[in-house]
Amino acid sequence: MLLRTFFILLAIVNFSNASLMQEGSLYKEKQELMEIKDELNEFYEIKELEYQKTKAELENIQKDIKKEELSIQKLRDENKQILEEIKRIITTKSMTLYDKMKLGVVVNIFNEMIKNNEINEVFDIMIRMKDKRVMKIMKKFDTQTSTILMKKMRILKDKEEETKQEEKK
């Protein structure tokens, strides 16, 4: 009986010791998990700060790009305006020259331009000339060239009439 009591006591001590070891082990694991959680939180906080800093830098870069884009657009518009002014001046001067030239010389120049597939340029010049002068030049062209230029003039006149009608509305 004594032996039996001894074994029972020994078994109870072993179970309680095992139970304490398990609790100690669980406590230790819980502590390790808490440490890992703290490390992860710290890591995420650092990464969040880095992200916010990078985001702010990118937003500043984007603002700079927008400013540059607006600046470039403004410069482009100014250059376009200057170019249009230059074209207008050149056209005015060339019109003065064509008006002062002899009819035969103008016709020869236009014929040469037409041979070089520059009929649109000839048309652009002719629509700025006086009607009497244009009719005299048209008489000097061959039939095919005159027909093409007349069609272009009719199309231009139709577009102008459409624009006038739309403006009235």
Domain ranges of the chain: 45-100, 102-160
Tokens 């027909």 belong to 147
C-alpha 52/C-alpha 45 separation (Å) is 10
- Please check whether residue 120 is in contact with residue 89, taking contact to mean a CB–CB distance below 8 angstroms: no
With H, G, I as helix, E, B as strand and everything else as coil, classify residue 127: coil
Render each residue's pLDDT in the chain as its tens digit; 169 residues: 666 676 676 666 566 555 555 555 677 778 888 888 888 889 999 999 999 999 999 999 999 999 999 999 999 999 999 998 988 888 778 777 877 889 889 889 999 998 998 888 888 888 888 888 888 888 888 888 888 888 988 888 888 888 878 777 6
- Please check whether residue 140 is in contact with residue 106, taking contact to mean a CB–CB distance below 8 angstroms: no
What is the pLDDT at residue 68?
Answer: 96
Tell me the whole-structure pTM to 2 decimals: 0.47
